[in-house]
Structure 1
Amino acid sequence: MVQTPEPHTYSLPAAAPYSNHGRTKAAWVLMLGVCLGFLLAGVGLIISNDAIVIASIVITVAAVVSSVIMRGMGLGQPVPRAGDETEKKDWYSA
C-alpha cells in the first residue's frame, strides 16, 4: 500500500544560525576576566585583604568593558540585521 506524504506544515528559517556557538574572542575575554576577578575576590575575602578585593572588582569591570568594545569592533557575535525575521518560531514546530 502506497502512503501519500503529509503536506509540509513548517517553513525553514531564512538563514542558517551562526556557526560559532558564541565562542568568540569577545566572549572568551569576558569569561576569563570575570572568572579571574571572582577568584581573586574570593581569595581577597578569605584573607581579608581589601586591596585584592578592589583589584578583583577592577579586573571584572575591565573584562566587561573590553568585551563590549571588542564586540563593537566585530570580534563578537554578529548583531542580527534589521531586515531579519523578528519572530522567534521554531522551524520544526507545527
Structure 2
Amino acid sequence: MVQTPEPHTYELPPAAPFSNHGRTKAAWVLMWGVCLGFLVAGVGLILANDMVAIAGAAVVVVSVILSVVMRGMGLGQPAPRVPEETANKDWYSA
C-alpha cells in the first residue's frame, strides 16, 4: 500500500545556524573568566576573606564586560541576518 505524504504546513527557518556552535574567542573568555572568578570567590568565602571574595566577583564582572566588547569587535557569534520579509513572521505557524 502506497502512502501519499501530507502537504507541509510549515516553513524552514530563513538561514542555517552558524557552524562554530558558539565556540568563539569571546565565548571562551567569558567561560574561563566566570569559572576563575567563581573559583576565587569561593575560596574567599571558604577562608572568610571578604577582599578575596570581592576580587572573584570583580573577575566575573570584568570577564562579562570583556566578552561583550570582544563580540562588538567581531570576535563573537555574529547576529543572524534575517531577510526583511521574514523578520516579523512566525515560521512555526502556517
> What TM-score, normalized by structure 2, do the two folds share?
0.79
What is the aligned length? 92
Q: Which residue of structure 2 lines up, in the alignment, with residue 10 of structure 1?
A: 10
**Percent identity of paired positions between Structure 1 and Structure 2:** 67
Task: State yes or no: 1:36 paired with 2:65.
Answer: no
Q: What is the aligned-residue RMSD (CA, Å)?
A: 2.2
Structure 2: runs of 5+ lacking an equivalent: none
Q: Which residue of structure 2 lines up, in the alignment, with residue 71 of structure 1?
A: 71
Deviations 1:27-78 (A, max 9, x none): 1111110111011111101111222122212211110111001100111111
Structure 1: runs of 5+ lacking an equivalent: none
Flag the 1:2–1:57 CA change in 2: closer, same or farther, 3 A: closer
Distance 2:81 2:15 in 1: 12
SS of the equivalent of 2:23 reads coil
